[in-house]
Amino acid sequence: MTGKQWVVWMGLACATCAADAQTLVSERSVSTNAALEMVNSALEACRKHGSAVTITVLDRAGRTVAMVRDDGASPHSVEHSLRKAYTALTYNMPSGQYGKGAAANPGSAGPLHLANITTAAGGLPIHAGSALVGAIGISGTPGAKGGGGADEGCAQTGIDRIAKGLAN
C-alpha cells in the first residue's frame, strides 16, 4: 500500500467512525439535594467532636455542588476541603490514600504540582454502584482531635446518609 492509498484508507475509516460517533453522553452525578444532606450529616458529626470545619461536595465533573464553612472554621479550610474532594474525585480514592502513595513514591511528585491536589486525608469519592458520581472533602479538625482522619470519618457519615439513594 502506498502512502497515498494509506491516507485515503485512513480518511475513509475516520469518516465511518465519525458517522457512528455518539453525540451526547449522560453521566450520573450527585444531586444538590443529596449534597445538602451529606453536608448536614457530616457537619453534625464533626460538631460532635467539637470541630468547626468546611465541607465541599463536588459533582462528577468536579463542579462545586455544595460548600459550607461552619462558624469558627479556619479560613484555609475552604480551599483545603475543595482540594481534598478534588483529589478524591480525580484519583477515585480517598485523598489520604493518595497521599500515602505519593509519600511512598517521591519520584511521582509531579501530580502534586497540579491545581487542587493534596495529600491530606479528609476527601472521599462518592460511588453509586461502581460509578463515580462525586466527592466530598472536609477540612478543619485539629490534629489533637484526629485531624484528617476525623475529617474523613465525618465525610463517610455524610456518604452513609445518602447511601440508600446511591444503591439505585
What pLDDT does 9 receive? 61
Write the CA distances from 126 to 21, 89, 137, 168, integer angstroms. Answer: 29, 8, 11, 13
134 forms beta bridges with: 59, 126
For every one of its 168 residues, what pLDDT tens digit does the chain have, with 9 covering 90 and above? Answer: 666 665 666 665 665 555 677 889 889 999 999 999 999 999 999 999 999 999 999 999 999 999 999 999 999 999 999 999 999 999 999 999 998 988 888 777 677 778 899 999 999 999 999 999 999 999 999 999 999 999 999 999 999 999 999 986
27-166 CATH: 3.30.450.150
Tell which residue, 142, 145, 136, has the closest CA to residue 74.
Answer: 142
Q: What is the pLDDT of residue 8?
A: 60
pLDDT at 25: 87
Residues contacting residue 2 through CB under 8 Å, at least 6 positions apart: none
Q: Which three cell numbers stand for residue 91?
A: 484519583
| Residue 105 pLDDT | 82
Q: What is the pLDDT of residue 78?
A: 97
DSSP one-letter string for 30-43? --HHHHHHHHHHHH
- What is residue 41's predicted lDDT score, i.e. its pLDDT? 98
